């Protein structure tokens, strides 16, 4: 079957440092990739996306990198803040299937 990401790991980061969350995907036909943030008790919230014709995209304090050769996606968060504490999901989609498949997520915790 299709597989995105790994079992739910935890990343602990010092406040103010940069965070890098990684994700592996297995479907080479995927052409759209998204990162979502899920805070406790809430639904996932869109952070940033990237299409397969790009390898980098930047937002406010976040950067997504896509390496199609090794089917790897990463989310970089600059100057991590307490409000960044959440579970982060990578997700993939492909036009022919019209659906988004989520990875298993990474929990980001911030040390003061």
Contact residues toward another protein (CB under 8 A) are 7-8, 31-32, 34, 36, 38, 41-46, 49, 87, 89, 93-95, 98-102, 104-105
Smallest distance from the beta carbon of 5 to another protein, in angstroms? 9
CB closer to another protein out of 93 and 110: 93
CB closer to another protein out of 60 and 112: 60
Smallest distance from the beta carbon of 16 to another protein, in angstroms? 27
* Token code pair at residue 58: 């930047």
Q: Could you give the CA distance from residue 87 to residue 57 in angstroms, rounded to a whole number?
A: 21
CB closer to another protein out of 18 and 46: 46
Radius of gyration of the chain (CA): 13
* Contact assessment for residue 99 and residue 91, using Cβ atoms and an 8 Å cutoff: no
For residue 50, give the nearest of 64, 67, 36, 37 by alpha carbon.
Answer: 64
């Amino acid at each position: 079957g299709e597989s995105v990401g790994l079992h739910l790991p935890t990343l602990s980061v010092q406040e103010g440092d940069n965070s890098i969350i990684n994700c592996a995907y297995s479907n080479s036909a995927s052409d759209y990739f998204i990162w979502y943030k899920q805070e406790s008790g809430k639904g996932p919230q869109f952070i940033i996306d990237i299409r397969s014709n790009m390898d980098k995209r930047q937002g406010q304090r976040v950067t997504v990198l896509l390496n199609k050769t090794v089917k790897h996606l990463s989310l970089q968060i600059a100057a991590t803040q307490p409000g960044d504490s959440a579970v982060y999901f990578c997700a993939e989609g492909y036009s022919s299937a019209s659906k988004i498949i989520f990875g298993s997520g990474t929990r980001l915790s911030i040390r003061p």
